Structure 1
Amino acid sequence: MSIEELNQELTRLRQCLQQLKTDNAELRQAVLEYTTQLKQHKSEQQAALLERQRIEEQLQTTQQFLYSVIQTMPVAVFVKDVVDLRIVLCNQAAEKLAGVSADEILGKNDYDLFPREEADFFTTRDREALNSKKLLEIPEEIIRTKSGETRILQIKKAPILDSQGQPKYLLVVRYDITEHKQAEAQLKQQAIELEQTLKELQSTQAQLIQSEKMSSLGQLVAGVAHEINNPVNFISGNLTYANKYIQQLLNLLHLYRINYPNPAQEIQMTIQEMEFDFLVEDLLKLLSSMEIGAERIQQIVVSLRIFSRLDEAELKAVDIHQGIESTLSILEHRLKPRANHVEIQVLKDYDDLPLVECYAGQLNQVFMNILSNAIDALEEALIQGKLSHNHPQIRICTQQLNAQQIVIRIIDNGLGIPEQVKQKLFDPFFTTKDVGKGTGLGLSISYQIITERHGGSLECVSSLEEGAELIITIPVVQPKQ
């Protein structure tokens, strides 16, 4: 090899060595950079791992917190899957409500926990909530627990949706409102009892007032009857003598006219001026009307005495017909024809009744209340022009049902009583009359007198346009206390 060739080879070797140094330096730099990247990646991985651990710990803490919240909630919470509605989560309140432990609940559905009929109903409502993807509220639902206890629940069912908006779980929250409902029912019952007590107190108060009024009225009536009776007896007794004396005077005048047919001119003129023949005829009629009036006053006095029955405040065997007649006598002025309506006819169909043991004054009060109501109904129908037949009529029928009971029926041919009114007919303070025309106590007190005081019954039979019938049934003899 020549020196030139050797020099060329050395030059080439030097170039290769220089290239190797350059490549080595680049390799060192690349290794250094890669090492740096590896260190950075490892640091990032460690940071990511630490962050993941922190998130997992936080998630676990949150899950534990939520689990504790669910477990300590006072309402029963169930979470079901959407496939076959098996329970995947429940809390302690749910265990208490079901009456079994969580181990006996988890993994089961309603068919494992309830009778089939109830399970069908619960499953239908679950599917309804899932299909609607909305909250379903059930205000009240009754279940039977495993122990056989019946509970009343208020239920809310809400689907839990995934990221695609499809139901993944069903959240069921059950509020046990059994005690609340029982308390509510108890309060309602207490309210009803209080209302009933108040009505009874009002009724008792009204009856006491009415009884006092009737007692005062009875005393007043008896006093008036007594005060009227004396002068009426005086008038009635003297009318007999007055009639006799006037007849004698008229006979004497008649004899004078026969024996002295041509009296003095002055006497003849006086006879003509006074219309003597008319005066004689009218005087006899006047005396007759006075006798009729005096007899009517005496009848009214007797009726007032019978009606008030102050001397018969205790149980006594009386003639029922006499009590009815005395009441009709007092009401006679309302039965007669008047300017705005025709006469109200009273038809009587009396059976041969025995003497009935009763509180006569109170029983007469019942007759007065019922007959007054019948007259009121007929008068109103007449005034309004609604009585098509225009023949108002009250029928009074009495009958002995058997040896122990009698019945009195008072029937009018008025417009009848609507069903909704008939249901409240005997309630205290219930009235269909205008303010000031009725207290609503008449039939209520009558009902109490018949049912409580006499151990009988008072009922109403009526239909619209067919009048009304009040039926009184009482025993002939009151049972011994």
Structure 2
Amino acid sequence: MSDFNNELHTQIQYSLMEKLSESERRYRELVNSLREIVFKCDRLGNVKFLNQAWTKTLGYQVADVIGSPLSNFIDANDRHLWQATLEKLQTGVEVCQELRFHHQTGVIVWLELSIQPCDESEFSGSLIHINDRKQAEVLLKQTNEELEARVEQRNTELIQANHELKLTLEKLKYTQAQLVQTEKMSSLGQLVAGIAHEINNPVNFIYANLSYASEYTEALFQIIELYQQAYPVTPLHVQEAIKHFDLEFIQQDLAKLLQSMQAGSDRIREVVLLLRNFSRLDEAEIKNVDIHVGIDHTITLLRHRLTTNSGMMGIQIIKDYGRIPLIKCYPAQMNQVFMNIINNAIDALLEAINQSQLLMPTIWISTEIIDEVWLNIRIKNNGLPIPESVMAKIFDPFFTTKAVGKGIGLGLFVSYQIVVEMHQGKLTCTSLPNKETEFCIQIPIV
């Protein structure tokens, strides 16, 4: 009975071993049939088991690899990742990582590692071939980079084109402003010159004949006096006429009347001369001029804006002229600058007066030579200050804060062009709350 039991036990063990061997064979066949690399390694990373997918994927024979460190087949740039993986596995967690391996031919092969502890001494894992995915990622990255580069290039081109269009628009705007102002001033110059000519002719007749009228009047009075001496007894009707017309008053007042007419004619001739000089805006010749004369002429032409309805001086002008030599410049154009700036100063003062914010409206005009190089002209007023939001735009073409019909926003723009471009000078403005607004014109004198 004992022998039977032993034999039965032996047969059972043998059967179990055959089944286990068959199971192991099937397991190995199954593992070797997998496309993924299946492996085991110890805690130092030495390979203990590999399936045949290793050879198919990397070309190395399995027998040659068993016992070798897996790091021998990992690209040098990724070995630190494998080392970090081994350290992390010590904590008992599963790790996934993408690593570059070297094929037996030397080609780089991307494999996705998934590994976890299987017992205290070994790790088991798999390696999946991801070359195609990596190549697709690289291609996608290159495509994205190319697209981004194209987009960036296109954006750069658009920015450049936009910048060029902006510059072109500004140039067109400036050109339009200059054409408008040139045409406007040319027409105005012709109109003023024509009016001055038409006024000048009859005034010359009056002016020329006033001296004769004075002589003839004096002669008539002398003849009347001779008649009175020759005929001391004056007929009654003549006496009544002398009394009625007040001959004595006529003799006294007529001389004053003729003197007033003479003074008025002189004033008209002076204004006509100023208008004729001011209208020569197409004069291209640069000249040595007395800059103070241009300022004074401009003030004279604007005198009607400085007075109140009562005829009293409403806006006072304080001049502080330095010792200035003759300055080489375009006189008519500089007169236009003075006209624009002083006109704007008067506008600011009148607005302050209308708002009852000003007791003594004043314009200060000073001139001086700086460093023997620059003529410095300051035109300052104590009218309403220029807001900071407006200050940045005051020299832009067609920018104006005035009501419709009061201006088109070219005065200061043209003034800036005349000072800066024509004379290589500087034109600046400062305006602060509760302080004067000042325009500073600087013209080189050498």
- Shorter-chain TM-score: which interval? 0.5 to 0.7
- Shift of residue 230, structure 1, vs aligned partner: 3.4
> Shift in Å at residue 369 of structure 1?
0.8
Whether 2:434 is the aligned partner of 1:465: answer yes
Q: 1:404 aligns with which of 373, 387, 390?
A: 373
Q: Structure 1 residues 360, 88: CA separation in 2 closer, same or farther (over 3 Å shift)?
A: farther
For 2:345, the equivalent position in structure 1 comes to 374
Aligned 8 A contact 2:281 2:333 in 1: no
Give the match for residue 191 of structure 1: 162
The CA distance in 1 between the partners of 2:167 and 2:271, in whole Å, is: 42
Contact 2:429 2:440 in 1 (8 A): yes
2:363 maps to 1:394: yes
Q: What secondary structure, in the 3-state scheme, does the structure 2 residue paired with 1:367 have?
A: helix
Distance 2:226 2:348 in 1: 60
| Partner residue in 2 for 1:427 | 396
Displacement after TM superposition at 1:296 (Å):
0.8
Matches of residues 146-185 of structure 1 in structure 2 within 5 Å? 183-184=154-155
Cα drift, residue 89 of structure 1: 7.4
Whole-Å separation in 2 of the counterparts to 1:184 and 1:386? 53
1:385 pairs with 2:356: yes
**1:50-65 correspondence to structure 2 within 5 Å:** none
| Secondary structure class of the residue paired with 1:424 | coil
**Is residue 340–residue 383 contact of structure 1 (8 Å, CA) maintained in 2?**
no
- How far did 1:211 drift? 0.9
Counterpart among 214, 218, 223 of residue 185 in structure 2: 214
TM-score (norm 1): 0.58
**Offset, 1:376:** 1.3
How has the CA–CA distance of structure 1 residues 447 and 89 changed in structure 2, closer, same or farther, with 3 Å as cutoff?
farther
Contact 1:309-1:360 within 8 A present in 2 as well: no
Q: Does 1:317 align with 2:294?
A: no
Gaps of 5+ in 2: 1-87, 89-94, 99-108, 116-146
Residues 1:268 and 1:322: Cα distance change in structure 2 (over 3 Å) = same
CA pair 193-271 structure 1, distance change in 2 beyond 3 A: same
Which of 329, 338, 342 is the matching residue for 2:300?
Answer: 329
Pair 347,248 (structure 1): closer, same or farther in 2 beyond 3 Å: farther
Deviation of 1:274 after TM superposition, in Å, equals 1.9
Distance across 2 between alignment mates of 1:215 and 1:357: 23
Q: Check conservation: 1:320, 1:355, Cα contact below 8 A.
A: yes
Which digits, 9 at most, give the CA deviation of each residue in 1:60-118, with x for residues without a partner?
A: xxxxxxxxxxxxxxxxxxxxxxx9xxx9679xxxxxxxxxx9889x99xxxxxxxxxxx
Whether contact under 8 Å (2:364, 2:379) holds in the other structure is yes
> 1-side partners of 2:339 and 2:440: how far apart?
14
> In structure 1, what is the Cα distance between the partners aligned to 2:439 and 2:394?
11
Moved more, 239-248 or 430-439: 239-248
CA distance in 2, matches of 1:239, 1:413: 45
Once the two structures are superposed, residues 114-138 of structure 1 have per-residue CA deviations (whole angstroms, 9 ceiling, x without a partner) of xxxxxxxxxxxxxxxxxxxxxxxxx
How many residues align? The count is 320
- CA displacement 1:28-78 (0-9 Å, x = unmatched): xxxxxxxxxxxxxxxxxxxxxxxxxxxxxxxxxxxxxxxxxxxxxxxxxxx
Q: 1:205 pairs with 157, 167, 176, which one?
A: 176
Which moved further from structure 2: 312-321 or 427-436? Answer: 312-321
Aligned 8 A contact 2:367 2:378 in 1: yes
What's 2:320 paired with? Answer: 349
Give the RMSD, CA atoms, in angstroms. 3.9
Of residues 419, 433, 442, the one that matches 1:450 is 419
Q: In structure 1, the residue corresponding to 2:375 is in which secondary structure?
A: strand
TM-aligned CA deviation for residue 259 of structure 1: 7.1
Tell me if 1:413 matches 2:389. no
Deviation per CA, 1:303-348: give whole Å up to 9, x if none: 1122123684222222212221222222122122226995222222
Deviation at 1:244, TM superposition (A): 3.0
Match of 1:302 in 2: 273
